[in-house]
Chain A
Amino acid sequence: MQSNHQLVCKNIKASYPQFQLDLDFKIAGGKLVSLLGPSGCGKTTTLSLIAGIIPIQTGEIILNGRDITTLEMYKRKVGLVFQDYALFPNMNVKQNLSYPLKIQKISKLEINEKITNILSMVGLEGFENRDINELSGGEKQRIAIGRAIASSPDLLLLDEPLSALDANLRTNLRKEIKKIQKKTELTTIYVTHDQEEALSLSDLIIVMKDGKIQQEGTPETIYNKPKNLFVADFIGKGNTIELNSTEKLFFRPEKVLLSQEKPSDCLELKNVKIINTEYFGSTYASTGKYKNSYITFFSSTKINKAEINLYVKKRDTLFYKNGFLFD
């Protein structure tokens, strides 16, 4: 029903001490889009601009056909899930969830029904009368997500919602966020600095650095065809071989082949000096020195040789000139 909602950020420019923000992007309705980048790249600033927490200097924001550029926060219909959950400590779970509903002039009965639905959606049935302080971090974030959904916003923003949780919980909750998003079809922007999170969740990833968009694309495109060396290095692990001062070759560690003889159509890296091997249970990750570059590769058995020959299929290598992908 809400699949026509669409966010347009037009020519947003702003100066901050650490970076110049320069944004221009569109988001199709019903999609989950990740804003990915190292900390301090302007992701959270972008969210704050869209939510209206900080005023916009130049540019336009159109949400669902409405120009919200200068609109007050409380008129925007944007939902935001904060890193610190932002649950009201003076209210219990039920009061927190009904807070966005109360202002929408719906009957008490309907509010109660909605709260029951939301609690079951986030997997916390029967938590109505719990005190906020009794909840674990994961439970708090579930309630926060539920509360944002309850307000039925035109756009849902998630600001590093899992960063305060431990690793196991993160992967579980990540799956649930995806499930909930698909079910509600809310257009969602998900801010994260965790590339694994972005790859596994998103319909579309926007990679940012120093306030500027580096690449927009599906997770597969971003991983397999990074537009520039920054994106290539930032997403996943990668090896770079310097051909000369302007040209570089890039390939993923999992594309490195170990073989007695040279396979066809391959690049050969002769006499790679093994300098380090780490064991990860399912695999060994070794790093070797090849000319001036370090090559990381995986193997199922431990490498016992001091030197080894490595191969990469030519179609698995990417060629970069002046830092940009050369197709």
Chain B
Amino acid sequence: MKKKDLFYKISSLPAMVILILLFLIPLTGTLSKAFIVEGHFSFQQIIACLLDSYNLRVMAFTVKQAFLSTLLSLIIGFPGAYLLAKFNFRGKKAFRSLCTIPFILPSILVVLGFVIFYGNNGFLNNLLMSIFHLSNPPLKILYSFTAVLLAHSFYNFPIIINFVSNQWELLSDHPEKAAATLGSKPIKTFFKITLPRLMPSIISSCSLIFLYCFTSFAIILVLGGGPKFTTIEVEIYNLAKRRMDIGGAASLSIFSLIVSMLLLIIYLHFQKKATNQEVLLRPSNIKKTTSSKLKKILIIFYIVLLLFFILAPIISIFARSFITASSRADQIKSFTFNSYKEIFLPNQSVRIISSSTQAIINSLILAFVSSITSTILALGLCIGIKHKSSFFTELLVMLPMAVSSVIIGLGYLIIGRYFNSNFFFFLIVLAHTVIILPFAIKSLLPIYRSIPSSLTNASQLFGYSPFRTFFNVELPLLKNAIITSLSFSFSLSLGEMNATLILSNSKFVTIPTLIYRMINSYYFQGACALGSLLIIICFILFYFSQAIGRTNLAK
């Protein structure tokens, strides 16, 4: 047998070591706490915990809210997928990128936008009150089940639009045409022919959304507002951080992990199915520009509604950052730059916003270091996976996707006790790296896999070793994917709050954790000012990676 080249063998090693040391071991450490009672191995604790009536209610609620959120996302997103796949209209490109906005927003900003827009004292209620001359806010959405569902679907419907429209566009419409010539009515054709063919993408996107909603943290923590609407992740955080019951937290983590793994397997299975499906050989760009007036009105109505749904909370954040209210419920409001002054001239303030500068610096350093580290590690892993694929490697790589960041944070919290507090920053960097690694791989691996192996082979046959081939041929072709991975990882790390919150003490702040604290202390102007900065950074990064992607396509 010919031995594989050393370069291919060792390239994935650093990432594997990091994943085993910094992901598997902390995870095992965490989970083992579920089975250890006073130093002895026992199932007592986990059984008691999982049968506890309060916990059972939490688990049931978690599943219920995830299910309903997924359903609502599907209902909101599906017409959009249909529009993008089947129609041509002016501003389609802009509509498409607008639809991805919620997806790139850190969850704390979604929370903030919802509080500012839908809140009792929010813009929507104020608007309705002044139009209908009401004395009380008519909409009491916030801190309720509705708020959780709305925020989740706001966050996740772009996944439906993205996945489903992508598959729909690639599907040949010949079966539909054949059905029409055989006398099938459009509605029947849709349910009998089109829908079954779209199922792989619908199921894969829904399972991913279910996974995200199942492990959602920030949205539940703030918008759920209380024990009535608590999910497993929030309960794990409560147990670990507030009640110091690590064993209980670990027991719940095991349940969460099992469900997440199942969802991930379903997602991966159907995603593969969706990409394996027959595709249109000559992608036809002949799309309808509808002539029916009713259809036109419906389309415009949908788009306007969706734009309102997407943009209102975001614009509210920008607007609110300039509004100073003299007290919380005060109706007298004035336009000021106060909070921005406090951010950039911290010495003049005594409020928590004064640590903004520190938070921005912390967040940027964290994002810088962890995005570079995870991209380099991911690159090494991709080399290993492509040239020497092993089932173990691929499974280990995807595993952090199934483990919620709260649980990863919990693992580091447990390890952190054995370290000097000086290692604390280092621990957070590592936690971020592990959390964003799967996403870096997701942006690199498909592109890396699409490089024809004939190019690599050609270079080697000309006398270049695998190592030199990588730098001469593969790396230049990966340039754009690397930039995408860097900017994607950077914005993910910037928005990461869950693990950071669970790990950090009160002195360490990042942009999201500081926003969270300001929301908790009802200092909305400050939260919005810092939030606006975060939105701007995320948009720049997003635009950057999109522009790179476009030049990539143009080539």
Residues of chain A touching chain B, judged by Cβ–Cβ distance below 8 Å, are 51-53, 55-57, 70, 72-80, 82-84, 86, 88-90, 99-100, 103-104, 133, 151, 153
Q: Which residues of B contact A82 (CB under 8 A)?
A: 454, 457-458
Contact A80:B461 (CB < 8 A) given known A86-B452, A86-B455, A133-B555: yes
Q: Which one of B1, B455, B477 has the greatest number of beta carbons of chain A within 10 Å?
A: B455
B477 and A89 contacting across the interface, CB-CB below 8 Å: yes
Q: Does B465 contact A (CB under 8 A)?
A: yes
- Residues in A neighbouring B454, C-beta threshold 8 A: 82-84, 86
Determine whether the beta carbon of B455 is less than 8 Å from that of A73: no
Chain A hits for B391, CB < 8 A: none
What is the CA–CA distance of A51 and B454 in the complex, to the nearest angstrom? 12
Question: B393 in the interface, Cβ–Cβ < 8 Å?
Answer: no
State A153–B461 Cα separation when bound (angstroms): 9
Q: B1 to A55, Cβ gap below 8 A?
A: yes
Please encode chain B, from 414 to 436, with 1 for each CB lying within 8 Å of some chain A CB and 0 for all others.
Answer: 00000000000000000000000
- Please determine whether A84 and B452 come into contact, CB atoms closer than 8 angstroms: yes
| B2/A53 in contact, CB under 8 A | no
25 contacts between A and B (CB under 8 A): A51-B457, A51-B461, A53-B457, A55-B1, A70-B3, A72-B465, A73-B461, A74-B462, A74-B463, A74-B465, A77-B463, A80-B457, A82-B457, A84-B452, A86-B458, A88-B455, A90-B473, A99-B459, A100-B462, A100-B463, A103-B462, A103-B464, A133-B555, A151-B462, A153-B461
Q: A57-B1, A88-B455 are in contact. Are A74 and B476 (CB under 8 A)?
A: no
A77 and B460 CA atoms in complex are apart in Å by 10
State A100–B555 Cα separation when bound (angstroms).
25
**Complex-state Cα separation, A186 to B458, whole angstroms:** 18
Q: A51-B457, A74-B469, A79-B461 are in contact. List 15 more A-B contacts (CB 8 A).
A: A53-B453, A73-B461, A74-B461, A74-B465, A77-B463, A80-B458, A82-B458, A86-B454, A88-B473, A90-B473, A90-B477, A100-B462, A103-B463, A151-B461, A151-B462
Q: Which residues of chain A are within 8 angstroms of B460 by Cβ–Cβ distance?
A: 72-74
Distance (whole angstroms) from the CB of A161 to the closest CB of chain B = 12
Residues of B within 8 A of A (CB): 1-3, 5, 452-455, 457-466, 469, 472-473, 476-477, 555
Residues of chain B with a CB closer than 8 A to A53's CB: 453, 457
* Bound complex: CA A280 to CA B30 (Å): 78
Q: Determine the chain B residues whose CB is within 8 A of the CB of A56 once the complex forms.
A: 2
Q: Which has the most chain A C-beta neighbours within 10 Å: B460, B462, B469, B473?
A: B462
Query: In whole angstroms, how far apart are the Cα atoms of A100 and B458 in the complex?
Result: 9
Chain B, interface SS category = helix
Contact A99 B462 (CB under 8 A): yes
Question: CA–CA, A51 to B458, complex, Å?
Answer: 10
CA gap between A56 and B453 in the complex, in Å: 19
Q: Which residues of A contact B453 (CB under 8 A)?
A: 53
Q: Output the least CB separation between B481 and chain A (Å).
A: 13
- Separation in Å of the B4 CB from the closest CB of chain A? 9
Contact, CB under 8 Å: A104 / B2 = no
For B465, what are the chain A residues with a Cβ–Cβ distance below 8 Å?
Answer: 72, 74
**Is the pair A86, B457 in contact by a Cβ cutoff of 8 Å?**
yes
Residues of B close to A84: CB separation below 8 A: 452, 454
- Taking the closest CB of chain B, its distance from the CB of A138, in whole angstroms, is 18
Query: A residues within 8 A CB of B458?
Result: 80, 82, 86, 88
Across the interface, do A78 and B461 meet the contact criterion of CB distance under 8 Å? yes
Using Cβ atoms and an 8 Å threshold, which residues of chain A touch B469?
74
Q: How far apart are the CA atoms of A98 and B458 in the complex, in Å?
A: 13
Residues of B within 8 A of A153 (CB): 461
> With A84-B454, A86-B455, A133-B555 as given contacts, are A76 and B461 in contact (CB-CB < 8 Å)?
yes
Give complex CA distance A29, B142 in Å. 83
Q: How far is the CA of A100 from the CA of B468 in the complex (A)?
A: 13
A151 and B452 in contact, given A53-B457, A89-B477 (Cβ under 8 angstroms) = no
The residue on A at minimum CB distance from B462 is: A100
B1 to chain A, nearest CB (A): 5
Give Cα A153 to B452, complex, Å.
Answer: 22
Q: Which residues of B contact A57 (CB under 8 A)?
A: 1
Question: In the bound complex, how far is the Cα of B460 from the Cα of A86, in angstroms?
Answer: 12
Nearest chain B residue, comparing its CB with the CB of A101: B462
Chain B residues with CB under 8 A of A83: 454
For B472, what are the chain A residues with a Cβ–Cβ distance below 8 Å?
Answer: 99
Minimum CB–CB distance for B510 against chain A, Å: 38
Q: Min CB distance, B469 to chain A, in Å?
A: 8
Q: Report how far A57 CA is from B469 CA in the complex, Å.
A: 26
List the B side residues contacting A75 at CB < 8 Å.
463
Q: For B473, what are the chain A residues with a Cβ–Cβ distance below 8 Å?
A: 88, 90
Beta-carbon nearest neighbor of A58 in chain B: B1
- Closest chain A residue, CB of each to CB of B5: A72
Which A-chain residue is minimally distant from B465 (CB atoms)? A74
The 6 A-B residue pairs whose C-beta atoms are closest, nearest first, are A55-B2, A86-B454, A100-B462, A73-B460, A86-B458, A82-B454
Q: Is B555 a contact of A52 with CB atoms below 8 Å?
A: no
How far is it, in angstroms, between the C-alpha of A206 and the C-alpha of B5 when the chains are bound? 32
Chain B residues with CB below 8 A from A99, complex form = 459, 462, 472
* Distance of A106 Cα from B1 Cα, bound (Å): 34
Taken together as a complex, chains A and B put the C-alpha atoms of A208 and B535 apart, in Å, by: 64
| Complex alpha-carbon distance, A73 and B460, angstroms | 6
Chain B nearest CB, measured from A93 CB (Å):
15
CA distance A77 to B537 in the complex (A): 51
Min CB distance A53 to B, Å, is: 5
B454 to chain A, nearest CB (A): 4
Q: Which residue of B lies closest to A73 (CB)?
A: B460
Q: How far is the CA of A25 from the CA of B296 in the complex (A)?
A: 70
What's the nearest-Cβ distance from chain B to residue A71, in Å?
8
Q: What CA separation (Å) do A103 and B461 show in the bound complex?
A: 12
Given A86-B458, A90-B477, A133-B555, A70-B463 contact (CB < 8 Å): no
Q: Which residues of A contact B3 (CB under 8 A)?
A: 70
Q: Residue among B454, B466, B472, B477 with the most chain A CB within 10 A?
A: B454
Contacts of B555 in A (CB 8 A): 89, 133
Measured CB to CB, the nearest residue on chain B to A74 is B460
Chain B nearest CB: distance from A299 CB in Å? Answer: 40
In the docked arrangement, what's the CA distance between A53 and B455, Å?
A: 12
Residues of A within 8 A of B476 (CB): 90
Question: Which chain B residues border A77 with CB–CB below 8 Å?
Answer: 463
Nearest-neighbor residue (CB-CB) of B2 within chain A = A55
How distant is B126 from chain A, measured CB to nearest CB, in Å? 56
CB-CB nearest in chain A for B1: A55
Could you say which of A52, A86, A88 contacts B2, with CB atoms under 8 Å apart? A52
List chain B residues, Cβ under 8 A from A55: 1-2
* Cβ–Cβ < 8 Å partners of A51 in chain B: 457, 461
CA of A104 to CA of B462 in the docked complex: distance in angstroms? 9
The residue of chain A having its C-beta at the shortest distance from the C-beta of B466 within the complex is: A74
How many Å lie between the Cα of A60 and that of B210 in the bound state? 55
In the complex, residue of chain B having the shortest beta-carbon distance to the beta carbon of A72: B5
With A99-B462, A103-B462, A133-B555 known as contacts, the answer to whether A73 contacts B477 (CB < 8 A) is no
Residue numbers in B under 8 Å from A79 (CB-CB): 461
User: What's the nearest-Cβ distance from chain B to residue A218, in Å?
Assistant: 29
Measured CA separation A74–B457 after assembly (Å): 9
Which residue of chain B has its CB nearest to the CB of A85? B454
Bound-state CA distance A75–B461 (Å) is 8
Q: Provide the bound-state CA to CA distance between A51 and B456, in Å.
A: 13
* B331 CB, nearest partner CB in chain A, Å: 62
Whether B463 and A104, one on each chain, are in contact in the complex, defined by CB atoms closer than 8 angstroms, is yes
Q: Are A73 and B457 in touch, CB under 8 angstroms? A: yes
Chain A residues contacting B1 (CB-CB under 8 Å) are 55, 57
For residue B214, give the distance in angstroms from its CB to the closest CB of chain A.
40
Contacts of A100 in B (CB 8 A): 462-463
- Distance to closest chain B CB from A130 (angstroms): 15
User: How far, in Å, is A34 (CB) from chain B's closest CB?
Assistant: 20
